[in-house]
Structure 1
Amino acid sequence: MHDGITVGARLRALRRWRQMSLAQLAGQADLSVSFLSMAERGLRSLDRRSHISALAGALRVSETELVGGPHLGRDPAQSDPHAVIPPIRLALQTNSLVAPAAERARPLDELVAEMVEIEAHHQACDYVAVGRALPDLLDELHLHAADPADEAAYRVALETLVEACTAATFTSKDLGYPDLAHLAAVRAEEAAAILDDPVRLGQAAFCRVHTMPRVGSWNRTLAAAERAAEALQAHATGTRGQQVLGMLGLSASLAAAVEKDADRARSWLSEAAALAVHQPDTPDENWMSFSTTNVRVWDVAVNVEYGERGGAVLELASRVDESKLTGAPDRQTAGRRGRYAAFLADVGRGLARDRKTQGQAERWLLRAEYAAPQWIRNHKPVQEAVAVLYTQAHARATTRELRGMVARMGIPH
């Protein structure tokens, strides 16, 4: 269970443990005393990456200590995904590219086909389904990737291993296991280095960028994303290469926003938008959903990181064609539900910051939960937004929907 209803409650405990006054902490984190005071009382949300990084750095603690680590609630959609982590950890920690742990493996073509299915579950944020197949696949791919006798098969094994490690990276990251996410990203990087393929190296770099430590290092994250994009630039001639380059640009944009470099963030967003024009606007079929629609989704995320709220967020959201994210009605359960849920959650978080739009925030957050329950019920920024909404509404009658969401996320109430 959580040890406090909001991040602010943990902030207060950590600040007192460090024997710091509000003024001292505010000065070191470059935040206002009034904002921190309201955050500690659960009246303002601490869900922006820049705020979390600055406060954790000033307190000299990890972000996990501030926002809270993974925990198991009573809701199956919230707790069951965590059961996939031990077997994924076992597969990654007991295998290497020169010393596989498995003794037997299925034919490589079967593993490639299974990776396609796993990727669909991964993009739908169905971590339980991912966990049923991914650990064995990682074992068997390591065995194939340790045999360079057949060069063509060897390369296919390494390419598929990059994809499998990407799924392991974001499954672990989304559920709150940054150490395992980092290990999976490093393994993807090792496989890509052997392939010496600029596009695969770009994919692996994308994983690494999203698993770098956050406290005091967003400038390094930004530099890593920019280096990877620049290295890929001359080689991004095909569809996949341009999609990977675009996603690296979007990652750089978000990192620049955290670093409060608005011009740089806008520049990278513009570059990604220019690349997306040449891609089909079909997020469900593109690598990491890269498309014009997805660039607009990231535009929402970047602006929410800036601190946009209320009507301004709704204006940005109105530019996103939601039907592009949900797909046809008969494909909604298998589409890129994670990207859709992220969009809905970012809009909801932005609306939650403005009292005039808090009622709408609740509806957007509930839609996000419906789109990808296993992820959203474990998503720290959404948990923070919901906890703050609940704290603010506690003195008045709260809605049945909000109370239900609080319970499903395991938030004390």
Structure 2
Amino acid sequence: MHDATTIGARLRVLRRWRGMTLAQLAGQAGLTPSFLSMAERGLRALDRRSHISALAAALRVSETELVGGPHLTKDPVQSQPHAMIPDIRAALLINTLTAPATDRARPLVDLVAEMERIDHSEYKHTQVGSALPSLIDELHVHACAPADEAAYRVALETLIEAFQTATFTSKDLGYSDLAHIAAMRAVEVARILDDPISSGKAASLRIHTMPAGSRDATLIAAEQAANDLESKAADNTGVQVLGMLTLAASLSATVIYNYNRAEHWLDQAEELAGRIPDTPTDNWGAFSTTNVGVWRVALAVERGQTGGNLLQLANRVDEERLAGRRGRRAAFLSDVGRGLAREPRMRGEAVRWLRRAENVAPHKIRNSAAVRETVGSLLSRAVSTAGGQELRAMAARMGVPH
């Protein structure tokens, strides 16, 4: 089933495998038969989390079965980051907090500095491939045989940051199960540290990797984590972690169509962002006023918003502040492009936003299932000649039939 290129094509295979009609599946997923018919034919993009989650639940499959696993092409920019996954997987699965995979490690201060360099890398995937697995190995050495209590806590705190990088790198490349493993390793470490900030960081990772079948549970977990941290977020880092939890809660509410709750948590995030410097490059999780604006766009696209209203939201985001966060900037640009692609008169503009996203972080965009779905849908609708040429070029780099 993963051989089918678009989500719509996989949807048809899975629906027929379950012996369901379009009307039956639409009724169970809360969608219309006409929408699903167009999606299966590639005329509508299945790129909203709420739709994918509802369809996966109705079909009784994982989101990965519907969206597709890691998709490799001949394009080295797209495929090369996948080569690091086996080493990351080994580092996550072999090391334990009582038995490291290696018996040698560099000084702890050097490992902390290397983790900071990875955190602030503009091309995180490239840095991760060579640095993260050995970093995880060596941090476990210090966690298992620390010089003192302070060194023990530093090693564990740095491990959480390493697991965060492993979580989102794996998720970006389509390895959702590995992302969840990395998140749960962070939860394990946070329990030992037993401080609210570490617990909040780990909770954020867990929430972002919870499976589709637990949509209500995801919102409950996000709201509980935010409420637990609210009275303890005294410094800037605490505010940033709390802010990311409020954004996670807003996303979780949006996916289950609880838009009033989603707006509540977005407003909370905006208030928190006003307490700290608007410096996404330096802040944990990039939480900042600028990043809240990016999330407003992403959640508007998730709700189905497009056209002029979406562009108004996008124009409020200061892209220059995202210069040091290429992945975040590319995600923002691609969200706008995906939203505009739903409106026929704006599809040429959508292609321009998608191409800008690809220019900013090609490795991320060429591995995005949502962007691949949008490109496939736009091609199926045969946009203008110029746009078609751009799309065919993107399609070739992403492995979409063109």
Equivalent residue of 2:346, what SS? Answer: helix
Equivalent-residue separation in structure 2 for 1:26 and 1:370 (angstroms): 37
Residue 349 of structure 2, aligned match among 360, 368, 378: 360
1:172 counterpart letter in structure 2 = S
Preserved CA contact (<8 Å) 1:209 1:221: yes
- Name the stretch that deviates more: 388-397 or 278-287: 388-397
Residue 360 of structure 2, aligned match among 368, 371, 375: 371
1:212-242 Cα shifts (integer Å, max 9, x gaps): 112x322111111111111111110100000
1:392 counterpart letter in structure 2 = R
Residue 282 of structure 1, aligned match among 279, 282, 290: 279
Equivalent-residue separation in structure 1 for 2:268 and 2:320 (angstroms): 24
Residue 129 of structure 2, aligned match among 131, 154, 169: 131
- Give 1:318-357 correspondences, 5 Å limit: 318-326=315-323, 335-357=324-346
- Give 1:69-84 correspondences, 5 Å limit: 69-84=69-84
1:23-51 Cα shifts (integer Å, max 9, x gaps): 11111111011111111111111000010
Say yes or no: does 1:150 pair with 2:139.
Answer: no
1:349-387 Cα shifts (integer Å, max 9, x gaps): 100100011101101011111111111111111111111
Off by >6 Å, runs of 4+ in structure 1: 394-397
Structure 1 alignment gaps of length 5 or more: 327-334
Aligned match of 2:269: 272
1:235-278 Cα shifts (integer Å, max 9, x gaps): 10100000000010001001101110111000000000001011
Equivalent residue of 2:381, what SS? Answer: helix
Say yes or no: does 1:189 pair with 2:187.
Answer: yes
Say yes or no: does 1:387 pair with 2:376.
Answer: yes
Task: Give, in angstroms, the shift of residue 403 of structure 1.
Answer: 1.1
Paired residues, number = 402
Aligned match of 1:49: 49
Task: Give, in angstroms, the shift of residue 125 of structure 1.
Answer: 4.5
Equivalent-residue separation in structure 2 for 1:161 and 1:145 (angstroms): 9
Equivalent residue of 2:120, what SS? Answer: helix
Aligned match of 2:252: 255
Task: Give, in angstroms, the shift of residue 187 of structure 1.
Answer: 1.1
Equivalent-residue separation in structure 2 for 1:162 and 1:391 (angstroms): 43
Preserved CA contact (<8 Å) 1:125 1:375: no
Aligned match of 1:107: 107
Residue 208 of structure 1, aligned match among 193, 206, 210: 206
Task: Give, in angstroms, the shift of residue 72 of structure 1.
Answer: 1.4
Equivalent-residue separation in structure 2 for 1:88 and 1:306 (angstroms): 34
Preserved CA contact (<8 Å) 1:126 1:374: no
Equivalent-residue separation in structure 2 for 1:204 and 1:398 (angstroms): 42
Task: Give, in angstroms, the shift of residue 397 of structure 1.
Answer: 7.1
Distance 1:400 1:42, change over 3 A: same
Say yes or no: does 1:24 pair with 2:27.
Answer: no
State the TM-score, normalizing by the size of structure 1.
0.95
Aligned match of 2:196: 198
Preserved CA contact (<8 Å) 1:6 1:384: yes
Preserved CA contact (<8 Å) 1:282 1:289: yes
Equivalent residue of 2:43, what SS? Answer: coil
State the TM-score, normalizing by the size of structure 2.
0.97
Structure 2 alignment gaps of length 5 or more: none
1:279 counterpart letter in structure 2 = I
Say yes or no: does 1:224 pair with 2:213.
Answer: no
Equivalent-residue separation in structure 2 for 1:266 and 1:408 (angstroms): 37
Task: Give, in angstroms, the shift of residue 17 of structure 1.
Answer: 1.4
2:275 counterpart letter in structure 1 = H
Equivalent residue of 1:399, what SS? Answer: helix
Residue 408 of structure 1, aligned match among 372, 394, 397: 397
Preserved CA contact (<8 Å) 2:15 2:59: yes
1:56-86 Cα shifts (integer Å, max 9, x gaps): 1111111111111102101111100001100
Equivalent-residue separation in structure 2 for 1:401 and 1:113 (angstroms): 41
CA RMSD of aligned residues (A): 1.5
Aligned match of 1:317: 314
1:136 counterpart letter in structure 2 = S
Task: Give, in angstroms, the shift of residue 149 of structure 1.
Answer: 5.1
- Name the stretch that deviates more: 216-225 or 291-300: 216-225
2:119 counterpart letter in structure 1 = E
Task: Give, in angstroms, the shift of residue 196 of structure 1.
Answer: 1.1
1:251 counterpart letter in structure 2 = A
1:103 counterpart letter in structure 2 = D
Aligned match of 2:4: 4
